């Protein structure tokens, strides 16, 4: 069986305990962070070993947003200006062309190391009071700009052989606190959300994968963040029209409450297809694995459809 989860790992090499655990747990894929990256050669070995321990071409994800959130950096990879600042003030078509080229090059760097999924584009709108943890990671201050530039990012990644994951559905831009530490909320009326925050996701609803926002949308469901809200996930599916693979943001973030087992259960019950568990704590990974079911039904079909878009050649083959 393939489990409905994606796991982070401890460091730049896979320990024997991790290898045995992942071989047994069979996560859908892995997600890498700076703690896992030392050099191109080391990263190629790691991605190859991760796939070998599962016995299949598992997807390997990363957050290479092209700015402040980059897991690959100097001296082996370039630095990037934050997306909000890229060609700022230039006409929208010029900015779109610049971002498409940037993310095509990012995809080439990722593919060369065996990474085939990038958690971008970030389709949240940058408002004046968007929390600084997110604001300059956004592409623009209007729904139109974000949709056009987000499409350029997705196209650049896919042309480079890397699958995009749009985030954070259905929109995190109104968050005034950092969801790594606190739970953001918005009281914006639903019609405003639909015409502004949801619009970029609606425009890119054909993309194969999306990631949820750990944020409460009070006019839709005041009781739970999007990740754990059946009403918000229904909105993502029906009003936004997204039928791709929907993964949670990291369930280890402090915006969520309850035990890790409770977070898993709430996210799956809400309608998320896949659990994203990012930290390197193998004891917690084992707890997640104990309660995550097999990827099945519509979730499995969405996962298969997404992975079918990958190039057949892999960097480690």
pLDDT score recorded for residue 85: 87
Q: Which CATH class is domain 3-307?
A: alpha beta
pLDDT score recorded for residue 297: 98
pLDDT score recorded for residue 286: 96
Mean pLDDT, each 10-residue run in order, the chain (317 residues): 97 96 98 97 98 97 94 94 84 94 97 98 96 93 97 97 98 92 95 98 98 98 98 98 98 94 98 94 95 98 97 54
Tokens read off for 95: 């900015």
Q: Residue 83: which residues within 8 A CB-CB, separation 6 or more?
A: 65, 66, 67, 99, 122, 136, 137, 138, 139, 149, 153
pLDDT score recorded for residue 314: 47
pLDDT score recorded for residue 279: 86
Question: What are the E-state strand segments in 122-262?
Answer: 163-164, 166-169, 185-186, 209-212, 216-217, 245-247
Q: For residues 213 and 233, give the distance between their C-alpha atoms in angstroms, rounded to a whole number.
A: 10
What kind and span of H or E run contains 60?
A: strand 60-62
CB 224 within 8 A of CB 216: yes
Q: For residues 154 and 99, give the distance between their C-alpha atoms in angstroms, rounded to a whole number.
A: 10
pLDDT score recorded for residue 87: 65
**pTM of the full predicted structure?**
0.95
Residues annotated as catalytic are 180, 249
pLDDT score recorded for residue 313: 59
| Phi, psi values for residue 3, rounded to 5° | -80, 150
Q: What is the CA radius of gyration of the chain?
A: 18
Q: For residues 216 and 193, give the distance between their C-alpha atoms in angstroms, rounded to a whole number.
A: 12
Residue position matching structure tokens 């599916």: 237
Residue 236 CB-density burial (10 A; 0-12 exposed, 13-18 middle, 19+ buried) = buried
CA distances from 4 to 9, 26, 292 (A): 16, 9, 6
Q: For residues 313 and 114, give the distance between their C-alpha atoms in angstroms, rounded to a whole number.
A: 10
CA distances from 34 to 50, 218, 280, 284 (A): 16, 35, 12, 20
pLDDT score recorded for residue 317: 39
Q: Residue 307: which residues within 8 A CB-CB, separation 6 or more?
A: 57, 59, 163
């Amino acid at each position: 069986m393939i489990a409905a989860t994606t796991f982070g790992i401890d460091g730049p090499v896979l320990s024997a305990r991790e290898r045995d655990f992942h071989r047994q747990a069979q996560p859908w894929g892995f997600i890498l962070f700076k703690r896992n990256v030392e050099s191109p050669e080391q990263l190629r070995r790691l991605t190859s070993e991760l796939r070998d321990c599962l016995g299949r071409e598992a997807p390997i994800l990363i957050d290479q947003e092209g700015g402040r959130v980059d897991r690959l950096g100097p001296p082996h990879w370039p630095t990037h200006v934050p997306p909000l600042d890229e060609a700022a003030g230039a006409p929208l078509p010029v900015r779109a062309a610049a971002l498409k080229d940037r993310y095509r090059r990012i995809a080439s760097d990722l593919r060369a190391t065996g990474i085939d999924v990038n958690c971008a584009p970030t389709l949240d709108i940058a408002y004046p009071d968007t929390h600084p943890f997110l604001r300059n990671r956004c592409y623009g201050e209007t729904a139109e700009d974000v949709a056009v530039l987000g499409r350029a990012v997705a196209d650049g990644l896919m042309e480079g052989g890397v699958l995009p994951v749009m985030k954070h559905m259905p929109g995190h831009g109104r968050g005034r606190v950092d969801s790594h530490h606190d739970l953001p909320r918005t009281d914006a009326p639903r019609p405003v959300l639909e015409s502004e925050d949801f619009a970029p996701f609606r425009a890119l609803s054909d993309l194969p994968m999306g990631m949820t926002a750990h944020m409460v949308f009070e006019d839709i469901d005041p009781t739970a963040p999007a990740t754990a809200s059946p009403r918000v996930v229904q909105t993502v599916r029906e009003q936004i029209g997204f039928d791709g693979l929907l993964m949670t943001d990291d369930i280890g973030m402090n915006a969520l409450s309850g035990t890790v087992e409770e977070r898993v259960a709430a996210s799956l019950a809400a309608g998320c297809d896949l659990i994203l568990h990012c930290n390197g704590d193998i004891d917690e990974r084992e707890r997640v694995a104990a309660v995550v079911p097999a990827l099945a039904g519509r979730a499995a079909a969405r996962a298969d459809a997404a992975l079918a878009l990958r190039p057949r050649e892999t960097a480690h083959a």
